Structure 1
Amino acid sequence: MTDQMDKFLPRPTPESAPFWQGCRDHKLLLQYCTACGTHQFYPRVICANCMSEQLEWREASGRGTVETYTIVTRAVSDAYAADVPYVIALITLEEGPRMMSNVIGCDVESVKCDLAVEVIFEQWSAEITMPKFRPVTGQLAS
């Protein structure tokens, strides 16, 4: 955790606080609209689909697929230098929403679109645990 201290940390808001608490508990939580039955991410005060305020937090499966990605080979700051190269990906979750995160636990060159991934959690500080994704076992060629 100490090597994460200089990284840019998200600042939870009243709307996103349950999401970050879920991450600390190693649960990927998404908002769910009980009016129209859709999940959404990023957290908001109303449903982006139907504008209802009838939102609740539900635990997601943590599974998804890589929609698109890039391999970062030049660190944005010294805090990220030890991480390069790393993958930033747009992940389409099984529940429908997309979220941006890292794909870790594999060679960066093996990441491809439509790769099946699952969430894991990386503690960056006492308050922030980041959701990241790794390939589902058996998805990568040996």
Structure 2
Amino acid sequence: MAHDLLPPDAILVPIPVSSRRLAERGYNQAWELAKAVQRRTGRAALADALVRVIEAPDQHQLPQTQRLNNLHGAFAVHPDHVPRLTGARVVLVDDVRTTGATLNSAAQALQQAGVADIGALVLARTPSD
């Protein structure tokens, strides 16, 4: 059960999708997953804690080094949430992990905002190359 793996004070933070992807799909799959975990565990969740500040190209067919370069500085913590997140435990939520570049970039933004502990909860992982 997910609640056994999550710290009791963890705040769930979904990886934000690009505005283009949000317009295409009409929803953020990571936020949908975070809401499901929130319902089952009672953990706090912040839909807009992270914002995407760089619209990177589609990443799914790029090598890891290029993904890391494309996503460097791609996320920032929303200023309204900095006080709540400073010193907090955060669990990033995403649907798929390929190289880890997205999670890495998001974690860097959270660290810069003063988050004390960062983990990740991912639904699926693609096979290694």
What TM-score, normalized to structure 1?
0.21
Relative contact order higher in (CA < 8 Å, ≥ 6 apart):
2
Q: 1 or 2, which has the higher strand percentage?
A: 1
- From the two aligned structures, give the one with the greater helix fraction: 2
Give the structure with higher Rg (CA). 1
TM score, norm. by length of structure 2: 0.23
